[in-house]
Chains A and B, each alone.
Chain A
Amino acid sequence: MALNRAVTRDWSRRRAAKRERLEAVRPFTTGRVLDAGRIGDALHALLRPGDRVALEGDNQKQADFLAEALAGCDPGVVHDLHLLISSISLREHLDVFERGVARRLDFSYAGPQSVRMAQLLDDGKVEVGAIHTYVELYARMFVDLIPDVVLLCAEQADRQANLYTGPGTEDTPTIAEAAAFHDGVVVVQVNELVDHVPRVDIPGDWVDLVVPSPRPFALEPLFTRDPRRIGQVEVLMAMLALRGVYERHEVTTLNHGIGYDTAAIELILPTYGEELGLRGKICKHWTLNPHPTLIPAIESGWVTSVHCFGGEPGTERYVAARPDVFFTGRDGSLRSNRVLCQLAGQYAVDLFIGSSLQIDACANSSTVTEGRLAGFGGAPNMGHDPHGRRHASPAWLSLLTGEAPALRGRKLVAQITQTFRAGGVPAFVESLDAVQVGRDAGMPVPPIMIYGDDVSHVVTEEGVAYLYKATSLAERREAVSAVAGATPVGRGVDERRVEALRRDGLVALPEDLGVDVRRAGRPLLAARSVEDLVAWSQGLYDPPARFRTW
């Protein structure tokens, strides 16, 4: 049988297109350096209608100069773009749609712009492909969402366009790789051009164009929690989590969310945890950003290693001075990487613990509430039991599941929340707002953050529910109700049933865990203010101005 080669196909159309694009911007460049003053003209020359463009909007850092330039494009020339943005944080990210420059959007998280996002969707200004988790969106950049042009940011570039990102490497290498190795165009705004970068975070031959930005890229201290705002209820929940989850399951590898609840856990390790003799037994290896509230635990010898998704403003000198704990480059500063840390958070940690805005009786949870389309970020990725895991650990094995011979352990996925949020809003609800929001937005499935069947533990000020022990959905619902306090969900379970659940080990109240509620107070916090964190760091932590009260 002869192979049919009737048509001679051109196998390098993307390469040719890239060459054309770069040729078109040549008038605005000197070598690979793009004139910042001509950025508008350059984008008009570079972009084609319908292009798929990845705009670096990370969880923390933003390619804001390029975002502004993109939003300023003439929709008569540049239109119908398909944008890929992991975190929609800036006004300009959505201006692009309002002005008709872009039409289609795939994203992960829209927290700061969630209200406007919902409005634009309502007005038909934006077509959302899907809302992803971070790694999921990046994964698709290598499969069916390969970008034509990527707009990134870095701290410095040298003459060969080698990039230095500093501590906030975050997503840049991943997005760059998706474009650089599939004939996409890589454009990077840099804070400065230098002769030599302190270290190479992204090799220059991945980079096509560098533009010195007139101002440093925007960077938010998202992971700083002021210990002053931690109250006794958070401390109580931290005590319950420590005894009822961490100690009981010997959790050594973990990820924490960014709430005050988990900050409280970090801050009672050197006090309550020390008292319980748990140092060296739990909480040794972490995947999380350099949380300032972790400093006391690090300084008192609890923490062996921390791998980070991104940096955190103010922690640069501290991290650089603790290279045994953090991943640092030859320049001494932190090297972060969101995708690798998400991967670590998915496969290599035994526990994910975080809080949501709403939890239903089946333990499904969501941060999507009425009129807000916030998206997912990274939580669902870490907040699930990955069936691809094969290595065992005591914590994983303590949740033994499956039928022989397919016995396996399970990841601990804990939700921690007060039964009521600020203003008396119940955290436990009959139906998640996400269900309605998903219906209104025409989403194929409701935007649930963490699925109830992935949740192994729920921690509230009432106690701990061990959902992994539930043998039926009805039992799971009862266990959730038992710790849901006076919320509509909590009122649905009677006292005798709760007694039975305690006997069967599905629910533990503070007294069942040996937690003395009277001790739940701020004196248990190893640091009670940002000044205390500075003191713990021996002056190495430089809190951002907004957290300073002196």
Chain B
Amino acid sequence: MTSAPTPPTGWAAMLARASFIELDARARATALLDAGTARELCGPFDRIESPWLEPQGVVPASDDGVVVVKGELGGRPAVVIGIEQAFQGGGIGEVSGVKIATALSLAARDSRDGTPTVAVLLLETGGVRLQEANLGLATVAEVCSALLELRALQPVIGVIAGALGCFGGMSIAAGLCTRLIMTAESRLGLDGPEVIESEAGVAEFDASDHTLIWAVDGGTQRTRTGLADTLVLDDVAAIRSAVLEATAGGVPAEHRSRRIGELRARLEAVDPGDPPEPAALAAVWARKPPPGDVR
């Protein structure tokens, strides 16, 4: 009897990894925190559900698709806020949005009151939930405002791990994060490919063209062009260590979203009539030297 053959190293490491995105939001949040420190706030047994879904024929979730877990990260107080992509495509509604905003605000309050608390956002989301339209949009504004409040005091780390990606209003929250961690399979964009295609036509963006989509929105490109900071393997240990490293960086002197001059220079470097190939974008932007990540 022969034993099961094992692939060589490299591929073996890939197969042996403990996938982060395969976990549900609760398990993801727990896996990032120091062992034994996780404590869920406002959990499913508190039954804070969206009141808007059932009338529209959607079965609500008892946590409204957002999980808030407090605990410690490398011994420091932390809150991890995870969006469950399996529920409504990670769409943000009134309740789930308020859960995120409140968790960030409470972390800011704790930080001001002498318990510095870092936050980690697990951003697997298509944006605002269509069924809750304006209420969802309003809560995303609250999320952004609470994020701005906290990031001045403590790092707020964004993680996008799955192929669903982070789009819509929540991509703005991602853009506001102190540091952003992505995997190669993950995507980041304001409008998703389907939205762009349906609004501007297939010539503008072909939502069936995976090569194009990942060349523009994918984690590799977003990291290469400085719109995200760290590219990691979809692996629990790798992502946790990237998060720890990012929180250790503390609060930067100037956040990416405040580097207006640099962002404007980048826009000017690109001719919309003759845009560069996605692969060339990093080089085009590199010619307008960014000031770098000043801490």
Contacts from A to B (Cβ < 8 Å):
228, 270, 274, 279-280, 299-301, 522-523, 528-529, 531-532, 535-536, 538-539, 545-550
CB <8 Å contact, A545 and B211: yes
Q: Which of B5, B11, B163, B184 contacts A300 (CB 8 A)?
A: B5
Within the complex, what minimum Cβ distance (angstroms) separates A345 from chain B?
28
List chain B residues, Cβ under 8 A from A546: 208, 210
The answer to whether A301 and B5 touch (CB under 8 A), given A532-B14, A538-B11, A550-B185, is: yes
Is B285 interfacial (CB-CB < 8 Å)?
no
Would you mind naming 22 contact pairs between A and B with Cβ atoms under 8 Å apart?
Answer: A270-B4, A300-B4, A301-B4, A301-B5, A522-B22, A523-B22, A529-B19, A529-B185, A531-B14, A531-B185, A535-B11, A536-B7, A538-B8, A545-B211, A546-B208, A547-B210, A548-B211, A549-B163, A549-B210, A549-B214, A550-B218, A550-B219
CB <8 Å contact, A545 and B210: yes
Within the complex, what minimum Cβ distance (angstroms) separates B164 from chain A?
10
**A300 nearest in chain B by CB position:** B4
In the assembly, what is the distance between CA of A536 and CA of B10, in Å?
11
In the assembly, what is the distance between CA of A531 and CA of B214, in Å?
14
CB <8 Å contact, B11 and A301: no
Is B106 interfacial (CB-CB < 8 Å)?
no
Dominant secondary structure of chain B at its interface with chain A: loop
> What 10 additional pairs, Cβ within 8 angstroms, besides A301-B2, A535-B15, A547-B210?
A280-B1, A522-B22, A523-B22, A528-B19, A532-B14, A535-B11, A535-B14, A538-B8, A539-B11, A550-B185
List chain A residues, Cβ under 8 A from B194: none
Is B220 interfacial (CB-CB < 8 Å)?
yes
Within the complex, what minimum Cβ distance (angstroms) separates B121 from chain A?
21
List chain A residues, Cβ under 8 A from B15: 532, 535-536
Within the complex, what minimum Cβ distance (angstroms) separates B3 from chain A?
9
Within the complex, what minimum Cβ distance (angstroms) separates A304 from chain B?
13
List chain A residues, Cβ under 8 A from B4: 270, 274, 279, 300-301
In the assembly, what is the distance between CA of A545 and CA of B19, in Å?
22
Is B209 interfacial (CB-CB < 8 Å)?
yes
Q: Which of B2, B7, B11, B184 contacts A550 (CB 8 A)?
A: B184
Q: Total A-B pairs in contact (CB under 8 Å)?
A: 52
Q: Which 6 A-B pairs have the closest CB atoms?
A: A535-B14, A549-B163, A550-B184, A535-B11, A549-B185, A300-B4
In the assembly, what is the distance between CA of A98 and CA of B159, in Å?
54
CB <8 Å contact, B5 and A536: no
In the assembly, what is the distance between CA of A528 and CA of B185, in Å?
13
**A525 nearest in chain B by CB position:** B22
CB <8 Å contact, B7 and A228: no
In the assembly, what is the distance between CA of A300 and CA of B208, in Å?
34
In the assembly, what is the distance between CA of A228 and CA of B22, in Å?
9
In the assembly, what is the distance between CA of A299 and CA of B15, in Å?
13
A522, A523, A536, A550 pick with most chain B CB within 10 angstroms: A550
List chain A residues, Cβ under 8 A from B208: 546
Within the complex, what minimum Cβ distance (angstroms) separates A270 from chain B?
7
B1, B19, B208, B209 pick with most chain A CB within 10 angstroms: B19
Within the complex, what minimum Cβ distance (angstroms) separates B89 from chain A?
14
Q: Which of A228, A274, A535, A538 contacts B163 (CB 8 A)?
A: A228
CB <8 Å contact, B5 and A299: yes
Q: Which of A299, A536, A550 contacts B214 (CB 8 A)?
A: A550
CB <8 Å contact, A545 and B209: yes
The answer to whether A550 and B220 touch (CB under 8 A), given A228-B163, A531-B14, A532-B14, is: yes
Within the complex, what minimum Cβ distance (angstroms) separates A28 from chain B?
37
A280, A547, A549 pick with most chain B CB within 10 angstroms: A549
Within the complex, what minimum Cβ distance (angstroms) separates A161 from chain B?
36
List chain B residues, Cβ under 8 A from A228: 163
List chain B residues, Cβ under 8 A from A549: 163, 185, 210, 214
